[in-house]
Amino acid sequence: MTTRAPHELPDYLKDLLQPTPSSIEKLLAAWDGLSVETQAAILLKLDKVPTPVYLIERVETKALSSHNAYIRYLAAHRFNSKNNYSSKDKELREMIENDSSPLVKYSHFENLSEITSVFLDDDDLKDADSFFALPHQARLAKVRMLRGYGEKVTGILEEAAVRQLQDGSVSETELYEIITDYLVKPKFRTGDADNHLPPDDCDHEGDNLIQRLWQLVPLLPPRIAQVLVDNLPKLSQPHCVPENVIKAMTINQLESLLDRQDIELVAFRKKIFREDAELRGAAVRSHFTLDYSEFAEILAGAPQERVATLKLLGTMAPDLELCLYEAIHDVVIASDGSGTVTSFESSLACGAMARRLKELEQEKKYREFDQLRLYRLARTAVPWEPEAKGSPPVGSLKFLADNIVPGDTWGTFMAFSQVWPQRGAGHRVLVRELPRLYDLGEDDLPREESESDRNALVRMDDELSRGIADILEEVKTLRKELTDEVENIGRQTGEQRARLDHEIEARTLMQQQISRVRRKRLFTYIPLGMCGFIILLLYATK
């Protein structure tokens, strides 16, 4: 089946909206046989067709004669948004004012012109008496498409709450319908600029008007006040809703307020969770989180109360961290005593965890993945079942073992969680040593570095670079010291070698001198010996 964008005409009808007399003639001829949807689309598209005014008036006249009141209303709506002065315009205006449908008859009370809302005053909105003097259908027409006049409408509603409603000038049902038509607009809750009620600016007049409208809640009957609770924009921070108004709300109003996705009230939700058993479910349904110490307080409660609270969180709180959902599941199962997944509520906690996983942004998802890994590591080290034996971290994760809290699984996880960031950028490397999350499809997700991870790695690189530079400087210094020492030893060795050579040379000269002396003595002793020998011979011959 094919679908078309809103107000888009099928191709075979587009010829009916050509800016020519023949096209308009064809349109009028086909009009009664067209569906209400097609007739409405044509009326909404007429302004985009540069067709002469008299031809447009023929279409409006045909539409104002329709059997369908809504088509007549759209035609009247078009007519009322123009400046009408011709005789034909007078005829069309009479048709509108005499129409049997209040929607059509009072359509001219709708405030359609931005110029009117800025430069002119509306006598019907000058005070509550003038406004409530109008027929009820005219009042609804006046407020349902109102541009501007936020101050005046707020004053009229304040007056109605304290006077007109009491004296019977307006019934409870009529005031309910007026407030509903005024407030229940797609953009009103977000502070549509056309309503002059922007909710994000404390100094803006619009925030004061919102404050005044919230103050009507305690003054109005519960059914009417409920419309305000369900639809008023929130105030600027720090308070989304006036504190005195919250204190005056009924149980049903508080539950509706807590159900609103655009109203945070984080501290108030936690207060209700701790103190009001009747509204605990509403308090946790949005904008409700627990830090690890708050969760530890729940675990420290009486067994029956603890399990009931965890079941409530597992089934109704959509914004908890992944590790909290898994801990809820584990504690409920451990409390069951059978060791098997028999608890319906614990299974729902797993479902809530899966939904939460789909909603997480990538960077936050990986941060929660790391916390879930640490929780599973803590659960392995200290199981929830008292009789089970744990396995402390080993290897590169052994430093975590010193932080185990005996008999306390969650306390061990909290200790691990506090110690883990102290590893600095290096913990990114240690992540691969933690338990894997294959059951959550972790490996199907590309790991993207977060800005904090990138900054940490940059810091680690800088520290590593500085460390390497320091080591190189130390090596350079040691090398210079060693070179100087070697050179000093070389110099000392050379000096010692020179002294040794000098001693050897001196000894050599001394030996040479001794040899010369010995030779001289030898040459002296030989002649003496020969003389002695001759003397002996001479003596012998005698």
Amino acid, single-letter form, for residue 35: S
Q: Which residue has the higher pLDDT, 453 or 515?
A: 515
- Give the pLDDT score at 175: 94
What HEC string does 187-214 produce? CCCCCCHHHCCCCCCCCCHHHHHHHHHH
Nearest to 176 by CA among 225, 239, 129: 225
Share of the chain above pLDDT 70, in %: 81
What HEC string does 56-84 produce? HHHHHHHHHCCCCHHHHHHHHHHHHCCCC
- Give the pLDDT score at 405: 94
Amino acid, single-letter form, for residue 307: V
Give the single-character DSSP code of 179. H
> What are the backbone dihedrals phi and psi of residue 220, each rounded to the nearest 5 degrees, phi first?
-100, 160
- pLDDT tens per residue across span 408-426: 999 999 999 998 887 654 5
> What are the backbone dihedrals phi and psi of residue 117, each rounded to the nearest 5 degrees, phi first?
-70, -20
Q: Which residue has the higher pLDDT, 108 or 451?
A: 108
Per-residue buried b or exposed e for 62-92, using 16+ beta carbons within 10 Å of the residue's own CB: bbbebeeeebbbbbbbbbbeeeeeeeebeeb
> What are the backbone dihedrals phi and psi of residue 419, each rounded to the nearest 5 degrees, phi first?
-75, -35
- pLDDT tens per residue across span 300-324: 999 889 999 998 998 899 999 999 9
Q: Which residue has the higher pLDDT, 384 or 50?
A: 384
- pLDDT tens per residue across span 45-92: 887 777 777 788 888 889 998 999 999 999 888 888 776 556 677 888
pLDDT at 188 over 80: no
- Give the pLDDT score at 516: 77
Residue 36 in contact with residue 75, Cβ under 8 Å? Answer: no
Mean pLDDT, rounded, for 452-463: 57
Residue 365 in contact with residue 337, Cβ under 8 Å? Answer: no
